[in-house]
Amino acid sequence: MSTGNRPAPSSDDEGASCWICLEEGPDENGQPLARDCSCRGNSGFAHLTCTVNCTEHLCCSVARNDSGKFINAWTNCPNCHQRYENELAIDLVVKAKLFVERKYPGDLWYLSHASYLKLRSLSIKKGNKDNAVQTANELLSLVEQMEKARKNLRKFRKALLYFQVTAYESIALFAEMTNTKESLMDAVEHHTKARDTYKKIGIPTDVVHAEANITGAKYKLNGDNGLTAEDLLKDCQEYYNESLEETGEESSVTLSSLIRLAEALKGAKRGIESERMLVKLAVVARRVHGDTHVFTHDVEKTLERYKKRYVFIKGEQGKRFQALRYVDGEDKCVVQGPITKPRNIEEEKTFTVHIDEFRPALGSLVICHGLKGSESHLNGKIGEMRSRMTGAQQYRVYFEDKNLEPCLVGPKNVRILFELPPSEF
């Protein structure tokens, strides 16, 4: 039984058949062919019942201490070896739990696997905060019970550590999403527990990843009174470098670390580098995972969000508006807003404002315009507004061309750059 609506079928479904039973169309219960992995063309489609039967048969032959093989059987496509996503991933987790309860009733070892799989699926559906945190705590409890029993624990130790670290990271993730002082303190605590557990496992890349998570949570908690955006950027850059060296440029770990790095660049008001990185990442994601894969969608949505430009209008204190385009020879700009949290576009108004009546938000991508004298060579140069001079209507612009020194520029001498041209560097 499906847990939700599946994505609309793609054109690849035409003429496809189940790779297990070789039958076309729905199964005897009316369930359609499903594929939520990185397979292409007509490959990879299967009935849920066929996938479950095949996976159960495989798991019955897996050695008790081979956690990786047991888990991957339920989470990864055996054809493309990429993770199942969306509703199919959740459906399979439900079936895995039923299988464990039927085949290994009361067995803490296999029950912990079922909880681990359930927790991973709930992380896909970010709205399931309470359920995910409850499942994470249940998993930690199962691990604690096994540690107290101390029966043949040594050969299972690494798997138990992975269960613990997944639970810690899930609790931290949802705590950060809550975004209160108390929840962010909780996030720092559980990211720290995750880091210490990764040290026990002994994988340097994961330790660096956890350190970056700690830095990010502390930055949200302390803001300018503690860690800076540059601290977070440094950690994310280090994590990306480690991932690239250890797993290669097209591994899921490296690709995910690139999204984090792009987010950190954006936070440090380095929007040009961030956008260019996401454009390249979208190309790689389509090549590795395909156009319809959830990772590709995440990259494209992040890029779409970062391409939005924002302004502040005189007389609208503290209110932010989205800039849409210039009109009348760039003397005026069409804007939409004011923007609220959460955003309600239906209540926003769209109108035109003169360039003298608004200023671009810090971090905006701009192109210099109308500069004279010793600064005329900067006209047409692309940069980003990283800071504002206190008490003066000037902004410090950092240029994409690293041969150019940052320059103080007035609001009349910059225009918002709505679309980055191809890089010259």
Q: Give buried/exposed letters for 346-358 (b at 16+ CB in 10 A, else e).
A: eeeeeeebebeeb
Q: Which phi and psi (to 5°) does residue 10 adopt?
A: -95, 175
Q: What is the pTM of this model?
A: 0.72
Which of 248, 279, 178, 262 lies closest to 220 in space, CA to CA? 178
Question: What's the Rg (C-alpha) of the chain?
Answer: 25
Q: Are 74 and 55 in contact (CB under 8 A)?
A: yes
Tell me, what's the pLDDT at 223? 65
Q: Which phi and psi (to 5°) does residue 360 adopt?
A: -65, 145
In the chain, how many H helices and how many E strands?
Answer: 12, 10
Contacts for 363 with CB less than 8 Å, ≥ 6 apart? 266, 269, 271, 384, 385, 386
Give the single-character DSSP code of 34. Answer: B
Tell me, what's the pLDDT at 227? 65
Contacts for 324 with CB less than 8 Å, ≥ 6 apart? 333, 334, 335, 336, 350
Whether the bond between 32 and the residue before it is cis, its omega within 30 degrees of 0, is no
Helix (H, G, I), strand (E, B) or coil at 313: strand
Low-confidence stretches of the chain (pLDDT < 50) are 1-11, 225
